[in-house]
């Protein structure tokens, strides 16, 4: 998994947008679009700080970053929509379905079985949706 | 980082004990010892389920598992003693100080700046203690 | 925003009921009604302690109290129905839509972007519902 | 409420399965079934550790154990599906509807009114579903 | 464990004070005293609502109520001082040390091993302090 | 309470630094300094995003912003160091001690009595420290 590079002279917003598309794909763009009428500035912050600043840092590849995020969102247990976006993101940056399942299972140790169970059900939904979409493309 | 292998005929407790020592080192043994007078069975469960079952599974190496655990414990924000044990564990299984710092910083996005700050201060403490201990050994 | 006064000789329940109607409007009455068959005493406590005791205290106006509540419920991130009731309540006691949006956005700093995002989507829903209801009244 | 006994020579999995059926009934079996395609090992852990190890321990009867679990899941506030399973489980091991309602109401003191309210609404749903199922059986 | 009775004509405050002393003992009085200079009204609410209203309700004995509270505070994991008060309270209303240990261990299933570990360490501290105090009295 | 203005051509970092000093005073500078050796970039992000972006936005004055932050941090209950910084910040931007006490007391309704109690004890500590410092200055 190669890290996306920082281009010279690129603004945080431009860099963040590139990272967002690479990591979250369409799911990220949908979140940004859904903020347009209520809090467009927040969409900008969302692109700039998490994606333009944090995910664009060298020192940890995107695969490791998504392991961290999937683990944290599973353990927090109250942010199902964002967990699904990042299970999708994990697949986008090279994690396998089995690896994602391992990460979520491990959270039973730290945040309890209910958090892990709800994380696994979120993954099941994302995997099923992804399989369906892939089959459509093939057909 | 090679995964510790499962030896044939080894019990969950034996396998867990090997994993605990490898991952958490002395910190893990101290936790187990401190349970001896109040809940010795819980010490057994702690070795068997998290270490004998979960951390001993193939499919995700210990480096990835510690990324997940450090992220989750930082985001949860209410388990400082265990976070310190796992920052130490992260170093034990091959994460660098900078990588651990990256993981914790990233949690500002998902669990807020206070959780990330408190995670960084925990890391600072562990790193300082580790440097002091290493210098003692050298001296 | 003037504070609702405490009438002489009024019981906690009467005072709470007045505050509940003023702050939460129909949403508050619906919650109370929905408790009638399972825990009617809890409906009484809900009116008496939060509304009869806390919200009826002088020393902080209702506008400030709703800023506090919207912030806390957004940050907690696991009480969406109550957050929606209090976004509505914020509008009832004089907060503008933009002010509510600001409060929720700020929570990204303390509880992370997912909590703030889910808060904004809750606000979007409440605002849309309110606009629809207001248009009906006009039509 | 008599505790289910540990049979000689029974494995953790067998003992856990017996406890799961006794406590969670069909709801428990459904959870296990839903894990079959995504994380069958996790279903095994779920039966073995919580049910084969913890709930099978003497020293606290199942009635007390379900009081503890219903209280904790209500207070955590982010695990509604598991709370419903354990409200059902509470009824299975001999708690009355009124006792379950008391436990949930008490959580307002420790985790706030929203957590208690959402717990009561979960109980209302479980009670209604149970009444409907019982009527069907009678009819 | 007999429930403390409600005396005719007793105010919520009087009833709450009796319940507080019975359940929390000196620890409860210390909390109330520590609020005197910053928020005396809050001390009143604390006595009236949790103790005068909730713990004084029939329908669940104090033993069951403390099982619920110890479980919830352990699972929440961020309220160590109150958990210690209620481990003490559990002993006051008739729970044994072993029963309290069982309740806390069980929380590993729902809130993870760190929450259960920190709960056990809190119990260890309370038990040790209680043993020391009892020996002093005997000596 | 007038909002601090945005100067033309000022960078996010400069604007954030001005806001940080105004709001958090010395406490803010101490946090930044303590990050210098472990995560200096994080200190920059902390100044830029929360202070340069969020707190510098018009649309909500600093008094309202601190009401929101004190409420949220009290309700979250696991970030005592940051709560103390913001109780101090609340005083810096014009909230009275009584108003801060009201905000924290109100959180009993939403996050339970333990969270409110621990918030009040944090406030008591900050108020006492502030009184001591003010007396020193006078003497």
Tokens of D41: 């090992």
CB contact under 8 A, A75 and B76: yes
pLDDT at position D8, please? 65
Residues in chain B with CB shorter than 8 Å from the CB of E113 are: 46, 50, 82
Residues A71 and A112 in one domain: yes
Inform me whether the pLDDT recorded for B4 exceeds 60.
Answer: no
Residues B70 and B124 in one domain: yes
d(CA B45, CA B32): 10
pLDDT at position A4, please? 47
Q: What is the CATH number of the domain that holds E117?
A: 1.20.1290.10
Residues C99 and C55 in one domain: no
Average pLDDT over residues B60-84: 98
Residues D8 and D35 in one domain: yes
Residues in chain D with CB shorter than 8 Å from the CB of C37 are: 124
pLDDT at position E53, please? 98
pLDDT at position C7, please? 65
Last residue of a domain, one of B59, B80, B96: B59
pLDDT at position F133, please? 87
Residues in chain A with CB shorter than 8 Å from the CB of B105 are: 54
| Residue ranges making up the domain that contains F43 | 1-59
Q: Which of B50, B68, B116 to mutate to test the interface with A (most CBs of A within 10 A)?
A: B68
Question: What is the pLDDT tens value at each position of chain C, 139 positions in all?
Answer: 344 455 667 899 999 999 999 999 988 999 999 999 999 999 999 999 999 999 999 999 999 999 999 999 999 999 999 999 999 999 999 999 999 999 999 999 999 999 999 999 999 999 999 999 888 877 7
Residues C20 and C87 in one domain: no
Residues C127 and C70 in one domain: yes
CB contact under 8 A, F77 and E81: no
CB neighbour list of residue A22: distance below 8 Å, 6 or more residues apart = A4, A62, A92, A93
Interface predicted TM-score (ipTM): 0.93
Of F108, F112, F117, the CB nearest to E31: F117
Of B60, B76, B99, the CB nearest to A60: B99
CB contact under 8 A, B45 and D49: yes
pLDDT at position D7, please? 65
Last residue of a domain, one of E59, E78, E104: E59
CB contact under 8 A, B72 and A69: no
Helix, strand or coil, per DSSP, at residue E115: helix
Last residue of a domain, one of F59, F76, F95: F59
Of E38, E45, E79, the CB nearest to F118: E79
Tokens of B63: 């480096």
d(CA F3, CA B35): 54
Average pLDDT over residues B78-96: 97
CB contact under 8 A, D68 and E64: no
Task: Give D42 to chain B, closest Cα distance, Å.
Answer: 10
Task: Give C139 to chain D, closest Cα distance, Å.
Answer: 35
CB contact under 8 A, B118 and F79: yes
d(CA B100, CA B85): 13
Distance in Å from the first CA to the final CA of chain F: 29
Residues in chain E where the model's pLDDT stays below 70: 1-8
Task: Give D55 to chain A, closest Cα distance, Å.
Answer: 14
CB contact under 8 A, E59 and D107: no
d(CA D29, CA F88): 53
CB neighbour list of residue A63: distance below 8 Å, 6 or more residues apart = A1, A93, A94, A95
Residues in chain E with CB shorter than 8 Å from the CB of A112 are: 75, 108-112, 115
Tokens of C118: 């889910």
Residues E80 and E129 in one domain: yes
Average pLDDT taken over every residue of chain A: 93
Domain count, chain E: 2
Question: Which residue from F minimizes the CA distance to E77?
Answer: F78
Residues in chain C with CB shorter than 8 Å from the CB of F71 are: 67-69, 71-72
CB contact under 8 A, F120 and E78: no
pLDDT at position E2, please? 40
Residues in chain D where the model's pLDDT stays below 50: 1-4
d(CA A83, CA C117): 13
Average pLDDT taken over every residue of chain B: 93
Q: Which of E72, E100, E113 to mutate to test the interface with B (most CBs of B within 10 A)?
A: E113
Residues B8 and B51 in one domain: yes
Residue pairs between chains B and C whose CB atoms are closer than 8 Å = 20
CB contact under 8 A, C110 and F72: yes
CB contact under 8 A, F108 and E39: no
Average pLDDT over residues B63-73: 98
Question: Which residue from B minimizes the CA distance to E80?
Answer: B78
Q: How many CB atoms lie within 10 A of CB C30?
A: 11
Residues in chain A with CB shorter than 8 Å from the CB of D31 are: 117
Residues C77 and C130 in one domain: yes
CB contact under 8 A, A38 and C101: yes
d(CA C82, CA D77): 12
d(CA F108, CA C45): 13
Task: Give D106 to chain E, closest Cα distance, Å.
Answer: 6
Residue A138 pLDDT class (50, 70, 90 cuts): confident
Of E75, E109, E115, the CB nearest to A113: E109
Q: How many CB atoms lie within 10 A of CB D133?
A: 10
Residue D55: φ, ψ to 5°: -65, -20
Question: For the ranges A29-33, A111-115, B3-7, which has the lowest average pLDDT?
Answer: B3-7
Question: Which residue from F minimizes the CA distance to B115?
Answer: F79
pLDDT at position A1, please? 38
Residues in chain B with CB shorter than 8 Å from the CB of D41 are: 57
Inform me whether the pLDDT recorded for B2 exceeds 60.
Answer: no
Inform me whether the pLDDT recorded for B110 exceeds 70.
Answer: yes
Residues C40 and C104 in one domain: no
Residues in chain F where the model's pLDDT stays below 70: 1-8
Q: Of the candidates E103, E126, E107, which has an alpha carbon nearest to the alpha carbon of residue E116? A: E107
pLDDT at position E3, please? 46
Question: Which residue from D minimizes the CA distance to F108?
Answer: D112
Rounded to an integer, what is the distance from CA A30 to the centroid of its chain? Answer: 13
CB neighbour list of residue E137: distance below 8 Å, 6 or more residues apart = none
CB contact under 8 A, B42 and E116: yes
d(CA A79, CA C5): 40
Residues E52 and E88 in one domain: no
Mutual angle of helices F62-76 and F97-111, in 10-degree steps: 40
CB contact under 8 A, D117 and C82: yes
pLDDT at position A9, please? 78
Residue B9 pLDDT class (50, 70, 90 cuts): confident
Residues C46 and C108 in one domain: no
Average pLDDT over residues A38-60: 97
* D contact chains, 3+ CB pairs < 8 A: A, B, C, E, F
**Whether the Cβ atoms of residue E87 and residue E123 lie closer than 8 Å to each other:** yes
Residues in chain D with CB shorter than 8 Å from the CB of A77 are: 76, 78-79
What residues of chain D have any CB closer than 8 angstroms to a CB in chain B?
41, 45, 49, 53-54, 57
Unique residue bearing structure tokens 């400082």: B80
Residue B3 pLDDT class (50, 70, 90 cuts): very low
Residues in chain F with CB shorter than 8 Å from the CB of B105 are: 39, 41-42, 45
Q: How many CB atoms lie within 10 A of CB D13?
A: 14
CB contact under 8 A, F50 and B113: yes
């Amino acid at each position: 998994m190669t890290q996306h590079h920082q281009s010279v002279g690129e603004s945080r917003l431009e860099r963040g947008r590139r990272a967002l598309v690479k990591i979250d794909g369409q799911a990220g763009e949908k979140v940004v679009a859904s903020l347009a009428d209520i809090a467009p500035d927040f969409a900008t912050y969302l692109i700039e700080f998490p994606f333009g600043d944090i995910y664009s840092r060298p020192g940890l590849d995107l695969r490791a970053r998504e392991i961290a995020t999937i683990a944290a969102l599973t353990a927090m247990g109250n942010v199902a929509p964002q967990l699904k976006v990042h299970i999708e993101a994990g697949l986008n940056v090279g994690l396998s379905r089995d690896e994602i399942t391992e990460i979520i299972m491990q959270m039973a140790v730290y945040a309890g079985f209910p958090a892990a169970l709800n994380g696994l059900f979120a993954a099941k939904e994302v995997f099923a949706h992804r399989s369906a979409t892939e089959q459509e493309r093939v057909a």
